[in-house]
Each structure stands twice: as C-alpha cells, then as structure tokens.
C-alpha cells in the first residue's frame, strides 16, 4: 500500500481528463481518459479508500453521460465490493505507522492536529446520497489495540476534540469478538473518550449495540436518512425514549453521492481544518466548496515522508471565523508555528469558485464579497466609531510596545487611504496566486471555466470590463467601487488565458 498516495494523484489527472472531455464534448479525450482509468484498475488490485471514492465519482459521471462506460466501471466496483467486504481486514498500529512512513516527530504533530479518527473503511448503511461518498460495505477496521494506541497518542498531545467516525459508521466497527461497546468501555476507563459524541446511522442489526451505549450514557445522536427513518422511529417506541437526530431532512442543500450534477457550486460540508486518521493512512483536510473539483466538499492531502507542515487545527466556530482565502497558520516538523506566505491550491480553487452567492458560503464564514466590503468607507467609519472601546480592550490585553503596535494596526484600518492600499495589495496577491495556479493546472482551469461559464458569458457581454491598467487602478482607488465585481472580471480574463497581457502588466507594474 506504500504507493497509495501516488495512485490518488494519478487518478486526479484521469478524473480531470474525463470531466474536461464531457464539458468540451470531446469523445476522443473521454475514450483516452477512460482507457487510462481501466488500465490503472487492472494493474492495481488493491486500491485505497480515497482512490475508490474517486472512481465512484467517475461512475456517477459516466452514468449520466456514457452508459457503456458506466456498465463497465460499475461491474468493476461491484466486484471490488464483493472481494473487500467478504473478509474485512484488521489494521494494527505498526502496519498503519509503517505504511504512513513518517518519523516520530511528524507523528506527534499529526496527533496534535487530528480532528477525525475513522475506525473503519466503508459503511454498512451506504446512503446513496452520502456527502462523504462512503464506500458501500465495510472493507477494513483498525484493530482494537490500534485505536487505543492512537487515542493514547492523541491524549498525550492534549487533543480530545476529534470524532470517532468519518465516511464510516462507528457501530460498524469490530475486531474479532470486540465491538464498539468493548472499545468505548476501554477508552472510557482510560479517560480517552473524545469530547465529541458519536454520530451513527444505527445500521441494521446494531440496534442492541445502540441501546447498550445509550444505557452507558454515551453522547449519541442518529443521522437520519430515508433508509433508516422508519427503523429509528420503531426503535424509539421500543425504548420509550427520543433519540437525538441530525440531518433529518429529505432535501439536500449540497448535491451528494448519486445526486451530484457536476455542474454546480455548493457550500462545504465541513468547517474544520486539521488532520484525519484512517485505516489507509492520514490526511491533511481543509474545507472547499462542493463541486466537481472536490465532490466531498473538502481537500484531502496525503501525509507521507514528503510532508513538511501541518495546518493548525481549527474546529467549529474557530474554523468558521477563519477566512478561507487567508494565509493558513501551520506547524512545521520542528514544532514551530507560523503563517504561510502563499495560498494552498484548495484555497485558490475556492477563490475561483466563489461566485458571491451567500448560499455558497457557510453561515458565520466570511465570503470574498463580504471581505471586499470591509474596505469601503462605511466599514472604515464603523471601525473609527469603535476606536475608544478598542483602546480599552487592548489596554486590558496588552502593555508597553505590544499595546502600541496593536493600536497602530487598528488605527491603520480606520484610515481610508491605508485601507485602499491594503485592498489593492489583496487583489494583486489573489490574482498572482490564481495566475500561477492556472498556468500549472490546465484541466482544472477548463473545469472551473465550465462551472462559472454563465457568469463569464454575462461578463463578456458587459461593457465595463477594464481594458487597460489605468482603468483597473482607477477602480481600485475609488473607496466605494465594487471590488468584487472587478476581481471577478479579472479572474475571468485569467480563466480565458492565464497569460493575459493586461493582467500580467498590471501585476508587474
């Protein structure tokens, strides 16, 4: 399994080729991409969970656009499911660590930043509308001792804010004669239970386990779907007690699983930044918009011997407060914390996909459109009015030079001329990142262009698109200008041509 990460990267290229072929109506490119995929499947009988998730995404595409390819791929997936679910494997701690291939110091930072500990691979419930695209049927489990060892390592890094599930159901977990109740008993006795409760679909045949956990007072809630709603209602009558419910709706705000249309941009499914541990390895996870680029609404970056930093953990409200287009706070392998001076590819993709629709951005998280509003006179005036109370607060938190520095920072944000400079710098930084990204990712450029094609067509017909540097500078200098509209216009020019001369000259000026 040591080559799993390489497989995932290779597959991303194949998936992008297939998407581009469909978006551009190029049957020859589709045949080439699909042929590459089939050859990869034939030469790799054992594939990672994330790789297989991606194949299911392609399968959803082919079902809509190419029935023959769908039948061929669906046959492979069904066969793979039969093979892997027939005798689920058990992954012990040493095997997991060996496959990961990182040193002890890297492991310590991994454990400190963990937000999800996935007990199993695959899910017995297999919701066809799963945002996580969980694999159908349980494929493998962490061993009981592996989970305890990982939990001990998490505790040693003072990390108890993590979930015992991700693209799986905690009640599916087992290791020979041990089930989830044995695991919870052991973790509880060692004070290793996470602060976050268990979320379960209550799979068929697991009702007894659920009742046992409820009797122990474990923090539990049920994720409701059309597959389990009636069954859970019957269970509530049997135990004469209401079961806390989540996701109890027939309407999905975000296309998921077989509902994915591969032509829309929706909100992320998560607000957390950090690390995910699975039986296949470990991954740095960052929220993204849910789209054909990232159908699970998050980017998973494999952790391996080439990993040089981890994103500092942010969960819940803390993650929502972070501007997705801001420079991430990271921890290097020497345990030093600092801010990156560049945006990750996932963040640049978010910049390119943010269409200003408030439904796309999670409640509580600032959108790019709202961000540009903070440079306008109305926002500057509000900050000026708050200056006296800000001074009092800073006096309580800082002293000496630290106080003077923090006060100067805030006073600068009350100065319209200074704020205009910041706005111009932000636009230039974003455009520079986007240009470099698009120059390296031609297929993704085509995908993003397709996802925003209607807006691009409207912009092409508009008469106010800047045609020279002076016009761009003039708009940026105007305090009340619509910077978000300008930014989109310039972004569309780059999507048409990453080497656009107007923008190149603007950035080089």
CB neighbour list of residue 439: distance below 8 Å, 6 or more residues apart:
498, 499
Residue bearing tokens 């991994």: 110
| pLDDT at site 383 | 96
Residues 176 and 247 reside in one and the same domain = yes
What is the pLDDT confidence band of residue 10, given thresholds at 50, 70 and 90?
low
247 with 159, same domain? yes
Q: Which two tokens stand for residue 373?
A: 């509003």
Note the pLDDT of residue 399.
93
Per-residue CA distances from 318 to 133, 209, 315, 322, 376 (Å) = 26, 34, 6, 7, 26
**Does a structural domain hold residue 500?**
yes
| 3-class SS of residue 98 | helix
Determine the distance from the C-alpha atom of residue 2 to the mean position of all C-alpha atoms in its chain, rounded to a whole number. 24
Q: How far apart are CA 423 and CA 417, in angstroms?
A: 10
- Among 205, 212, 87, smallest CA distance to 139 is for 87
- Tell me the pLDDT tens digit for each residue of 369-422: 999 999 999 999 999 999 999 999 999 999 999 999 999 999 999 999 999 999
Backbone angles phi, psi at 239, to 5 degrees: -90, -5
Closest C-alpha among 350, 232, 231 to residue 289: 350
Distance of CA 370 to the CA centre of its chain: 21
Q: Mark whether 174 and 50 lie in a shared domain.
A: no
Judge whether residue 6 has pLDDT over 60.
Answer: no
Q: Which 3 state secondary structure label does DSSP give 443?
A: helix
Under the banding of pLDDT at 50, 70 and 90, the label for residue 1 is very low
Point out the domain boundary residue: 231, 251, 271. Answer: 251
Establish if 21 belongs to a structural domain: yes
pLDDT tens digits along 95-152: 999 999 999 999 999 999 999 999 999 999 888 788 899 999 999 999 999 999 999 9
CA distance 45 to 24: 32
Kindly tell me if the per-residue pLDDT of 365 is higher than 90: no
DSSP-derived secondary structure letter, 181: H
pLDDT, position 139: 96
The last residue of a domain, from among 215, 231, 251: 251
77/139 same-domain check: no
pLDDT for 252 equals 67
* 148 plus 244 within the same structural domain: yes
Alpha-carbon dihedral sign for residues 36, 34, 496, 484:
negative
d(CA 25, CA 27): 6
How far is residue 6's CA from residue 9's CA, in Å, rounded to a whole number? 5
Determine which helix (DSSP H) or strand (DSSP E) holds 71, and give its type and residue range: helix 67-86
Which of 118-127, 254-263, 348-357, 385-394 is predicted least confidently? 254-263
Q: Are residues 372 and 457 in the same domain?
A: yes
Examine the domain organization and report whether 67 and 157 are in the same domain. Answer: no
pTM: 0.92
Q: How confident is the model at residue 66 (pLDDT cuts 50, 70, 90)?
A: confident
Compute the residue count for the chain. 509
User: What CA–CA distances, in Å, run from 176 to 114, 139, 182, 203, 232?
Assistant: 27, 14, 11, 18, 27
Which ranges constitute the DSSP H helices of 221-267?
Answer: 229-239
Residue 338, in any domain of the structure: no
**Domain that includes residue 489, residue range:** 368-508
Q: Which of 8, 12, 9 is nearest to 443 (CA)?
A: 12
In a domain, 316, yes or no: no
CB neighbour list of residue 213: distance below 8 Å, 6 or more residues apart: 180, 181, 184, 198, 220
Indicate if 484 and 404 belong to the same structural domain: yes
CA distances from 47 to 15, 58, 76, 156, 418 (A): 16, 15, 12, 32, 53
Report pLDDT digits (tens) over 176-204: 999 999 999 999 999 999 999 999 999 99
| Per-residue pLDDT band at 225 (split at 50, 70, 90) | confident
Over residues 153-180, the mean pLDDT reads 95
Say whether both 374 and 504 belong to one domain.
yes
Q: Count other C-beta atoms under 10 Å from residue 501's C-beta.
A: 9
Higher pLDDT, 7 or 365: 365
Tokens 């520079």 sit at which residue? Answer: 432
Q: Which residue has the higher pLDDT, 389 or 7?
A: 389
Which of the pair, 427 or 268, is modelled with greater confidence? Answer: 427
Measured at the alpha carbon of residue 303, what is the angle toward residues 300 and 304, in degrees to the nearest 5? 145
The answer to whether 139 and 88 have CB atoms below 8 angstroms apart is yes
Distances, alpha carbon 139 to alpha carbons 14, 373, 391, in Å = 24, 48, 58
The CB-side HSE value for 305 (13 A sphere, CA atoms) comes to 7
Q: What is the pLDDT of residues 478-492, one digit of tens each?
A: 999 999 999 999 999
102, 153 Cβ separation under 8 angstroms: no
pLDDT value at 224 more than 80: yes
Pairing assessment for the beta strands 178-179 and 198-200 based on DSSP bridges: unpaired
User: What pLDDT is attached to residue 46?
Assistant: 81
Distance between CA atoms of residues 54 and 49, nearest Å: 9
> Which segment of 50-54, 93-97, 349-353 scores lowest on mean pLDDT?
50-54
pLDDT at res. 361: 81
**7 falls within a domain:** yes
The answer to whether position 326 is within a domain reads: no
Q: Which DSSP string corresponds to 348-361?
A: HHHHHH--S-TTTS
Question: Which stretch of DSSP H or E encloses residue 282?
Answer: strand 281-287
Mean of the pLDDT values across residues 48-58? 89
A 10 A CB-CB count for 107 gives 17
Q: Do residues 190 and 148 lie in contact, with contact meaning Cβ atoms separated by under 8 Å?
A: yes
Q: Which residue has the tokens 């990712």?
A: 441
User: 3-class SS at 284?
Assistant: strand
Predicted confidence (pLDDT) per residue in 236-253, tens digit: 999 999 999 988 777 667
As a whole number, mean pLDDT of residues 458-475 equals: 89
Does residue 334 lie in a domain region?
no
Confidence of residue 460 (pLDDT cuts 50, 70, 90): confident
Coil, helix or strand at residue 142: strand
Which residues in 323-353 are b (16+ Cβ under 10 Å) and which e?
Answer: ebbeebebbeeeeeeeeeeebbbbbbbbbbb
| Residues 126, 23 within the same domain | no
User: Using one digit for the tens of pLDDT, what is the confidence trace for 20-50?
Assistant: 998 999 999 999 889 888 888 888 778 889 8
- Quickly state the pLDDT bin for 164 (edges 50, 70, 90): very high
* Structural domain count of the chain: 3
Residues 228 and 129 in one domain: yes
Structure tokens, 221:
């809630």
Mean residue pLDDT of the chain comes to: 91
Percentage of the chain beyond pLDDT 90 is 70
Q: Is the pLDDT of residue 7 over 70?
A: no
Q: Confirm whether 360 is domain-assigned.
A: no
Q: Which residue has the tokens 């006060």?
A: 407
Q: Are residues 15 and 59 in the same domain?
A: yes
Q: How many angstroms separate the CA atoms of 81 and 59, rounded? A: 14
Q: Among the three residues 232, 251, 270, which one is the final residue of a domain in this structure?
A: 251
């Amino acid at each position: 399994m040591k080559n799993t990460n390489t497989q995932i990267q290779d597959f991303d290229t194949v998936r992008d080729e297939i998407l581009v072929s469909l978006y551009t109506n190029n049957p020859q490119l589709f045949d080439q991409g699909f042929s590459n995929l089939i050859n990869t499947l034939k030469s790799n009988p054992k594939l990672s969970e994330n790789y297989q998730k991606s194949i299911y995404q392609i399968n959803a595409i082919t079902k809509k656009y190419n029935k023959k390819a769908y039948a061929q791929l669906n046959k492979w997936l069904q066969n793979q499911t039969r093979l892997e679910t027939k005798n689920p494997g058990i992954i012990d701690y040493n095997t997991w660590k060996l496959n990961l291939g990182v040193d002890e110091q890297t492991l310590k930072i991994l454990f400190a930043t963990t937000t999800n500990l996935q007990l199993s691979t695959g899910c017995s419930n297999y919701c066809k509308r799963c945002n996580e695209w969980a694999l159908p049927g349980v494929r493998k489990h962490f061993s009981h001792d592996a989970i305890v060892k990982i939990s001990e390592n998490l505790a040693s890094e003072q990390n108890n804010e993590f979930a015992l599930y991700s693209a799986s159901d905690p009640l599916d977990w087992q290791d020979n004669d041990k089930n989830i109740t044995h695991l919870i008993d052991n973790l509880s006795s060692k004070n290793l239970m996470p602060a976050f409760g268990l979320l379960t679909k209550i799979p068929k045949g697991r009702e007894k386990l659920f009742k046992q956990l409820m009797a122990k007072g474990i923090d539990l809630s049920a994720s409701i779907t059309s597959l389990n709603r009636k069954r859970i209602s019957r269970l509530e009558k049997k135990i004469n007690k209401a079961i806390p419910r989540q996701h109890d709706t027939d309407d999905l705000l975000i296309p998921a699983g077989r509902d994915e249309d591969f032509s829309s941009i929706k909100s992320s499914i998560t607000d957390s930044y950090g690390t995910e541990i699975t039986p296949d390895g470990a991954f740095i996870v960052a929220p993204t918009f849910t789209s054909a680029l990232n159908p699970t609404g998050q980017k998973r970056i494999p952790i391996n011997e080439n990993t040089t930093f981890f994103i500092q953990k942010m969960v819940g409200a803390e993650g929502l407060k972070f501007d997705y287009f801001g420079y991430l706070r990271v921890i290097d392998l020497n345990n030093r914390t600092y801010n990156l001076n560049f945006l990750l590819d996932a963040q640049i993709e978010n910049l390119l996909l943010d269409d200003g629709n408030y439904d796309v951005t999670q409640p509580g998280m600032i959108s790019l459109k709202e961000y540009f509003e903070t440079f306008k006179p109305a926002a500057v005036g509000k900050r000026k009015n708050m200056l006296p109370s800000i001074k009092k607060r800073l006096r309580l938190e800082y002293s000496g030079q630290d106080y003077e520095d923090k006060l100067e920072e805030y006073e600068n944000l009350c100065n319209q001329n200074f704020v205009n400079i910041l706005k111009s710098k932000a636009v230039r930084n974003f455009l520079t990142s986007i240009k470099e990204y698009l120059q390296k990712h031609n297929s993704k450029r085509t995908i993003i262009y397709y996802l925003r094609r209607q807006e691009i067509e409207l912009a092409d017909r508009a008469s106010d698109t800047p045609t020279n540097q002076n016009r761009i500078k003039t708009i940026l200098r105007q305090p009340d200008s619509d910077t978000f509209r300008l930014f989109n216009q310039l972004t569309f020019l780059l999507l048409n041509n990453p080497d656009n001369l107007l923008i190149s000259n603007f950035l080089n000026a």
